[in-house]
């Protein structure tokens, strides 16, 4: 269910007739996300690692977000949209992580197989469990939403656990250039 559906239903419950496709509902959805877009910030080291990886690898983004335009606007605002070869948002594709269909669609769009893919995520169940079930290698990076404690409690076993994006960046640099 998308944000447009929620807002339309709320308006209909007040006695007005709308649909999720009503332009006024779309305007309300966009307005409701303005503060969110203003508040997003890029994690330290993220842009550097995306730039570094994008020169040699394809990069995909899989998001369970309920309103795809916000994801695209956020990527543009953070100036990282150019690094992604494929972007899948649940709102657009109709599937949510951890369902295999969304991961398989990402693989299809990137034209890669699961065994040659590494999935980096912060959610033990949505990201790690879903990607592993599809056959991808996984890296868990804790966030303000999911901690190492959450990972432990979930009993999911990612291939790599890193404390943050910067540590991941350092590990990748060492693997790409073993003399440093």
pLDDT band at 169 (very low <50, low <70, confident <90, very high): confident
Which domains does the chain carry? 3-32 (no CATH), 43-176 (3.40.50.1000)
CA–CA gap between residue 55 and residue 32 (Å, rounded)? 36
Can you tell me whether residue 9 is helix, strand or coil?
A: helix
Region of 94 please: left (phi>0), alpha (psi -120 to 50) or beta: left
pLDDT in tens, 44-69: 999 999 999 999 999 999 999 999 99
pLDDT in tens, 119-167: 999 999 999 999 999 999 999 999 999 999 999 999 999 999 999 988 9
Residue 75 tokens, joined: 């990527």
Q: Does residue 101 have a cis bond before it (omega within 30 degrees)? A: no
The predicted pLDDT at position 178 comes to 44
pLDDT in tens, 67-108: 999 999 999 999 999 999 999 999 999 999 999 999 999 999
Please give the torsion angle defined by the CA atoms of residues 167, 172, 177 and 180, in that order, rounded to the nearest 10 degrees: 10
């Amino acid at each position: 269910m998308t944000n447009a559906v929620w807002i339309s239903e709320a308006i209909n419950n007040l006695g007005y007739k709308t649909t999720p496709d009503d332009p006024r509902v779309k305007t309300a959805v966009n307005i409701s996300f303005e503060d969110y877009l203003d508040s997003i910030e890029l994690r330290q080291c993220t842009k550097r690692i995306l730039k570094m990886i994008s020169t040699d690898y394809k990069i995909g983004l899989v998001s369970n977000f309920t309103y795809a335009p916000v994801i695209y606007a956020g990527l543009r605002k953070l100036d990282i949209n150019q690094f992604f070869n494929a972007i899948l948002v649940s709102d657009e594709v109709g599937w949510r992580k951890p369902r295999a269909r969304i991961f398989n669609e990402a693989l299809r769009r990137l034209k890669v197989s699961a065994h040659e893919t590494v999935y980096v995520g912060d959610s033990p169940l949505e990201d790690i469990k879903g990607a592993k079930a599809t056959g991808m290698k996984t890296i868990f990076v804790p966030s303000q939403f999911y901690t190492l404690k959450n990972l432990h409690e979930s009993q999911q076993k990612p291939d790599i656990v890193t404390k943050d994006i910067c540590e991941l960046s350092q590990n990748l640099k060492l693997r790409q250039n073993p003399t440093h």
